[in-house]
Amino acid sequence: MESEFEGFCSGSDILTKHPDRWRKISFGVPVLDHLTDGGVSCRGIFEVAGDPGSGKTQIALKLALIAQHEVPDSSVVYICTEHMFPSGRLLQMEQAYKRQHPHDKVVQAHNFADHILVEHVRCVPSLMACLFERLPQLLEKTKISLLIVDSITSPFLEEKNYVSRAETFRTLVGRLQQLQQQHNFATFVTNQVRAVIDSATLDDQRHVPALGLAWSSLVHTRLQLSRKINTNERQCSVVFGPSLTPKLEHYAIDESGPVDA
């Protein structure tokens, strides 16, 4: 559905006339907010890629809590594709979040878990049906501040027709952008990484986000996580973003989720 032309206006007018379009959802972690100039935008696909154990799901869960606090009366859609939803960990983080805000009556009274709407999908047809059929129906009756797909990688790993897969990527992202335009929610996805060996030296191994250039070209902002062996310290680097400077910061994970290191 094409949006109606509203006439030309200045950049300042756009910011004041449609403030929700430019809203960002904070990570609730100062170092990550600093890296991203405030958090996850309500426009485009925001991706975090990283090794297992680097903190992708931990960041997603904390975002699910923060989004409800920052956008009153909103819910979060959480699509799991690899594992069962970590409800026990969510409840632990929710209790820690409430302890951090003992005098905030809204936080203390709110049941965050009840407003995280979980769907489990395992294949591309199920993912597309969820995003193209069930999500639009939900958006018509429920205010959504954040959509999480954890992870975008898994449903596409068995797809060997890369031309068809690239077309599916374009269709998926195009549809999500239309829904964002209509309902002003942020979209956060996690991605796996794969090892790549430098063909010149055969020993310079590095990790790059999965799904290739066909997917990367559709991502608005990408962060990449890694974990230092035998420590609780993780690092997060900006790979690209339209207004972000490539840089690297460190963070850790405790009972409340990701925190400054």
Domain spans of the chain? 25-255
Mean per-residue pLDDT, 118-134 = 96
- What is the value of pTM for the model shown? 0.90
Q: 65-69, 198-202, 253-257: lowest mean pLDDT where?
A: 198-202
Task: Say what the pLDDT of residue 6 is.
Answer: 67
Mean per-residue pLDDT, 213-219 = 96
Task: Say what the pLDDT of residue 1 is.
Answer: 47
Averaged pLDDT score across all residues of the chain: 91
Q: Residues 129-140, buried b or exposed e (16+ Cβ, 10 A)? A: ebbeeebeebbe
Task: Say what the pLDDT of residue 203 is.
Answer: 55
Q: Which tens digit of pLDDT belongs to each residue from 2-58? A: 556 667 877 777 667 666 777 899 999 999 999 999 999 999 999 999 999 899 999
Q: List residues bridging with 252 in a β-sheet.
A: 233, 259
Residues 6+ apart with CB under 8 A from 240: 219, 221, 222, 246
Tokens, residue 30: 């100062």
pLDDT of 179 over the 80 cut: yes
Q: What is the CATH number of domain 25-255?
A: 3.40.50.300
